[in-house]
């Protein structure tokens, strides 16, 4: 696992209700991200998180998937999921902030 992915997972697990689940039997770096028992996203590799952010938040922040992503390149623009790439610490913090915002919106309280 890359240092950036490890740091992002560390930040995300600080959010109450967030759980990261790895699959050591898999040869790739696929793992899932859960909030209050429900999957909210998954990592395909060490630098991209496929997050179920919702159309409203995707639109609000003007987010677009990386044009050169290997995962879901033909995804519909109306999808609830957005591929988020992180290649430096600033992007790790940005992705962490988006996940925190999503969890606040999903929080049952």
Predicted local distance difference test score (pLDDT) of residue 69: 80
Distances from the Cα of 82 to the Cα of 16, 56, 86, 106, angstroms: 22, 12, 13, 17
Residue 59: count other Cβ atoms within 10 Å of its Cβ: 11
Domain of residue 25 covers: 3-106
Beta strands in the chain (DSSP E): 18-22, 31-35, 38-43, 48-51, 82-85
The model's pTM: 0.89
Contact between 96 and 6 (Cβ < 8 Å): no
What's the domain count of the chain?
1
Q: Give the mean pLDDT of 70-81.
A: 82
77 SS3 class: coil
Predicted local distance difference test score (pLDDT) of residue 1: 65
- What does the mean pLDDT of the chain come to? 91
What pLDDT, in 10s, does the model give residues 11-53? 999 999 999 999 888 878 899 999 999 999 999 888 999 999 9
């Amino acid at each position: 696992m890359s240092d950036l992915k490890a740091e992002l997972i560390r930040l995300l697990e600080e959010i109450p209700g967030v759980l990261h689940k790895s699959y050591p039997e898999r040869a790739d770096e696929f793992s899932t991200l859960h909030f209050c028992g429900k999957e909210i996203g998954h990592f395909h590799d060490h630098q991209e998180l496929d997050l179920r952010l919702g159309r409203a938040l995707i639109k609000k922040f003007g987010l677009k998937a990386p044009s050169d992503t290997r995962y879901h390149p033909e995804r519909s623009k109306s999808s609830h999921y957005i591929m988020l790439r992180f290649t430096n610490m600033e992007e790790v913090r940005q992705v962490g902030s988006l996940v925190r915002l999503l969890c606040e919106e999903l929080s049952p309280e």
